Each structure stands twice: as C-alpha cells, then as structure tokens.
Amino acid sequence: MERRLAGEFVSPPRGACQSYYAAVLVAVLGDWFPFLVYGLFALAIPASMILMSFLFATRPRRHARAREIPFESGVSTGPPQQQRFTISFYLTAMLFIVFDIEIVFLYPVAVQLIDIGWFAVAEFGFFIAILVIAYVYVWGKGALEWR
C-alpha cells in the first residue's frame, strides 16, 4: 500500500477518467447543489428583469414638454427644512426591533423542538412568558398609544 501526503493529488484510475471526475463532481456538489440552484436563480431573475425592461421599453414618439416638468414635486427651494421627530417614532421603532428580534429566536427552537426534548419546551414557554410580560408592561405604560 502506498502512502500519500495530505493534499497530494490522487490520479484517477486509467480508462475511467470521465466517469471518475463526474463522480467526484457529484460528490462535491451533492450537499451544495440546492445552494447552486438558488444562486443561479438569484442571478437569473434580476438579469431577466433588466433585460426585459430594455427589450419591452416604450419610448415616446415625439418630444413633449409635459414629460420634462416635475410631476407633483414642486420647485426646489434649497435644502429641506430640518424636522424634529417626536419620541413616538423612536419608541415604536425600538419596540418593533426588540419584539421582532425575539420572535426570530423562536424559529430555530420550533424547527428542532422534537429533537431537543422537553427541556426545550419548558425554555420555549419561559421565553414566551417573558415576551408576554414585556408586552403587557409596554401596553400598560401606554407606549403603544400614538400621540
């Protein structure tokens, strides 16, 4: 038996070169094939949208002044005025982020609930109880009221 160093190229058996490389390709792509398909779709869909927008775009046949004037945008009078936002905007955004992130943590537990057992069910219930208590507290303080 011959010894090989780690990372050393192993030549395929003679006469079966194409089937050997095909088998290696299938073995390598076996687990990654769904990601490859997803990536191809992720590239094909926007590319087809851009291509179709150029192919099916309609251009006006004649030059019209109405197309050049701003549509309900008015005349720019300089930089926009600074507006102050009320604290309700920030409070609503922060509450959304807090509750949204907490709900995101529930998904992995729900997916693996059968495999991880009753301890996870208890932790799951405890986590939801904390969410409910926080929600009742925020509601009682009037943070969900828009002023």
CB of 85 closer than 8 Å to CB of 91: no
Q: What is the pLDDT of residue 75?
A: 61
- Strand, coil or helix: 110: helix
The Cβ-side half-sphere exposure at 89, using a 13 Å CA radius, reads 4
Straight-line distance from the first to the last Cα atom of the chain, in angstroms, rounded to the nearest whole number: 81
Alpha-carbon distance of 47 to 35, in angstroms, equals: 18
Taking only the tens of pLDDT, the chain with its 147 residues reads 555 555 555 555 555 566 777 777 777 777 788 888 899 999 999 999 999 998 888 777 777 777 676 666 556 666 667 777 777 788 888 888 888 887 787 888 778 877 888 887 888 889 889 888 988 998 888 877 776
Cβ contacts of 116 within 8 Å, gap of 6 or more:
109
pTM, full prediction: 0.39
